[in-house]
Structure 1
Amino acid sequence: MRKRRRGSIALTLLCATALLASPGLLAGTAFAAPEPQQGKSLEQVREEIEDLYRQAGTATDAFNLAESETRTQSAKIVEIANLVVAGQDRITSLKGRAGAAARAQYRSGGLPPGAQLALSNNPTQFLDGSDRLRQGEKATSDLLSELNRTQSDLQQYAMDATAHWEKLEANRVKQEASKKQVEEKIKAAEELESKLEAEQKARLLQLEQEAQYKAQAAWLSSGAMNGVTGAAASEAGKRAVQFATAQIGKPYVWGAEGPGSYDCSGLTSQAWLAAGKRIPRTSQEQLRLPKVAIKDMRPGDLIIYFDDATHVGMYIGDGAIVHAPRPGRNVTLTGAGSMPIKAVVRPDA
């Protein structure tokens, strides 16, 4: 009963938020904004805009993934460059030692051991010298082998660098394509919204909030929260929630990771980084984190949304999440069931 009451309280708070945000209801009158032209209802326009932003979200995830891979490849190229420099220095040193050995042999006259023995006045001294000569020959052989290995390493580094450069270029192409798609979808959505009058825009926001409330109410009514234990957050989870909720009111900007703006996965990844845990950058990659059942979720867990895992929010307890919704909206609280849930994951499992 206690868990149901808490879920009911959260639902009531979310409902109240939606009602207070509606200009028409604040005035205590029915809202009767004119419908858009071209035979479309305002609800149809809302759905069209939401669909465009969903497509933009998908492209944003692709952009963020390409950017993350680009950073990885860039770091590997820098690592290889450092290995190449070290290898070149090593070759210079080995060549210097080989040159010194060659000069020493030249100074000895370069005579074969038999001739040196015949000309030597002291056979014992010669034999001692021969032993040192054999040691020197082995050292020279080892030096040449090391020189060959180092040169072979440099050739491999060159091949590795080429492969990473190719991946880097492929990721750059992916980024550009994704960026273009994001911008096109956002522009199309903004153009649709720009054709609305002020009252219609206010009504559009109200419809958006009502749709979220209905989805949350249906989710709770389905019994999704039944059995949720209300487990306490881990210490890291508490810090992640504190960070995420401190960003409420900051605008959504696609590709952003703070501090002034965020996209959905930028918010969750930075919140957990602030808690001392580095997690993947995109919502699709965050889906790979250890999964937990809804009944076992606790504050700090991440809820991945939609079949293509292109949105993510952070569970804060009592059936609510904090998230960065979409372009034109700010970081806010909403019901955990206001969007189709794909999975719940735990960064600090």
Structure 2
Amino acid sequence: MARGRRGLISAAVTVVCAVTVLAAPGPAFAAAGAPRPTPTPSASSSPAASTDKELEEVRERLEKLYREAAAATDAYNAAEEKADEQSRQLVELAKKIVKGKEKLAELKERAGAAARAQYRTGGLPPEAQLMLSEDPEEFLDGTGRVLQGERATKHLIEETKRTQEDLEQYAADASAQWKKLEANRKAKATAQKKIEKQIAAAEKLESQLEKEERERLAELEREAARKAQNDWLDTGILDDLDGKATARGKQAVKYATAQIGKPYVWGAEGPDSFDCSGLTSQAWASAGRGIPRTSQQQWQQLTRVPVEDMRPGDLVIYFDDASHVGMYIGDGTIVHAPRPGRTVTIAGAGSMPILGVVRPDAG
């Protein structure tokens, strides 16, 4: 935030005297060690090697940890977006307060000038001024001007009162916005702690595996994704998928696929790294269409379309909590930023549980 902007916010929040405390965060998950293998009496297996069943348990545990981290990332991104908006609103309120103070000072100066003019007439009632006047006609002209002056003074008083009321309202609004800003800063901090805790737990779990176990675990992940994709394709979904991308959809797909190979970093929106919704929101921004920042907001706010009607550029939302999103690019595939430790890649659209599909450029 620029120094001038900070100054405006500072001017606006001098009225703030309390900070809203964010509600306590939801339960965090403690890091867990990997299930240690029980030696399997086999001539072809090492005593330290885990069975596929045990590695499958590890895979499911890792998936759970990374999904929880993804949900926390959505919360972090939403809080950050709200905090940015509240900062902008505080700046606007600060500008209004500054202008209001300048206007009030001008009105007070005008009121003072009117008071000084009245003092110069001696504050005499009109009858006395008529009797003392050497030129009654001039007096009558002056009386008209006095009446105009009285009306102007009344208007001046009313305008001053409205300006003071506006300043009080701006101050109250600034106080409320400041409290919301602080609450969202706390929400960001809470989400960040949860993200870091979940990722650390997952990394610790993976670090306890031997090289051969990590390789087998990666193969199990690929097998699970292939099975899910094949099950999805076996429904005949591709037989109905013939939607053509719009010009904007093509541009969004072009941007997203150009990021393949870049690392996943939670909260990132490019250009060097992305999280899942950072990739999709920036892809559509490149096509001239601003969309919500998080996968949950994208699910809630964008137009939903049937899966069988999706076309390249549409966003596929995953899991019951809408914690992941990818962009459909055709032929039953998506481009997405999977999770920490992975890079932007192409995957089967059905390789994860689909919640639904949304269309950024509907209509």
TM-score (norm 1): 0.88
| Equivalent in the alignment of 2:14 | none
Query: Which runs of 5 or more structure 1 residues have no equivalent in the other structure?
Result: 1-30
Q: Where in structure 2 are the equivalents of 1:220-259 lying within 5 Å?
A: 220-228=233-241, 230-259=242-271
The CA distance in 2 between the partners of 1:167 and 1:60, in whole Å, is 20
1:224: Cα distance to partner? 2.7
| Equivalent in the alignment of 1:330 | 343
1:233: Cα distance to partner? 1.0
How many residue pairs get aligned? The number is 318
1:199: Cα distance to partner? 2.2
- SS at the partner of 2:347? strand
Q: Aligned pair in 2 of structure 1 residues 101, 38: CA closer, same or farther (>3 Å)?
A: farther
The CA distance in 1 between the partners of 2:195 and 2:245, in whole Å, is 35
Q: 1:280 aligns with which of 288, 292, 307?
A: 292
- Percent identical across equivalent pairs? 61
CA deviations 1:58-83 (Å, max 9, x no partner) are 11111111111111111111111111
| Equivalent in the alignment of 2:226 | 213
1:36: Cα distance to partner? 5.3
| Equivalent in the alignment of 1:262 | 274
Q: Where in structure 2 are the equivalents of 1:33-182 lying within 5 Å?
A: 41-182=54-195
Q: Aligned pair in 2 of structure 1 residues 279, 333: CA closer, same or farther (>3 Å)?
A: same
- Code of the residue aligned with 1:171 in structure 2: it is N
CA RMSD of aligned residues (A): 1.7
The CA distance in 2 between the partners of 1:91 and 1:102, in whole Å, is 16
The CA distance in 1 between the partners of 2:329 and 2:52, in whole Å, is 41
1:37: Cα distance to partner? 5.8
4+ long deviations beyond 2 Å: 31-40, 223-226
| Equivalent in the alignment of 1:22 | none
1:109: Cα distance to partner? 2.1
Matched, 1:316 2:334: no
Q: Aligned pair in 2 of structure 1 residues 40, 297: CA closer, same or farther (>3 Å)?
A: closer
Is the 8 Å Cα contact of residues 228 and 351 (structure 2) preserved in structure 1?
A: yes
Q: Aligned pair in 2 of structure 1 residues 76, 116: CA closer, same or farther (>3 Å)?
A: same
Q: 1:191 aligns with which of 204, 222, 225?
A: 204
Query: Which runs of 5 or more structure 2 residues have no equivalent in the other structure?
Result: 1-43
- Code of the residue aligned with 1:248 in structure 2: it is I
1:201: Cα distance to partner? 1.7
The CA distance in 2 between the partners of 1:106 and 1:40, in whole Å, is 98
Q: Where in structure 2 are the equivalents of 1:332-347 lying within 5 Å?
A: 332-347=345-360
- SS at the partner of 1:344? strand
The CA distance in 2 between the partners of 1:61 and 1:225, in whole Å, is 30
Is the 8 Å Cα contact of residues 225 and 294 (structure 1) preserved in structure 2?
A: no
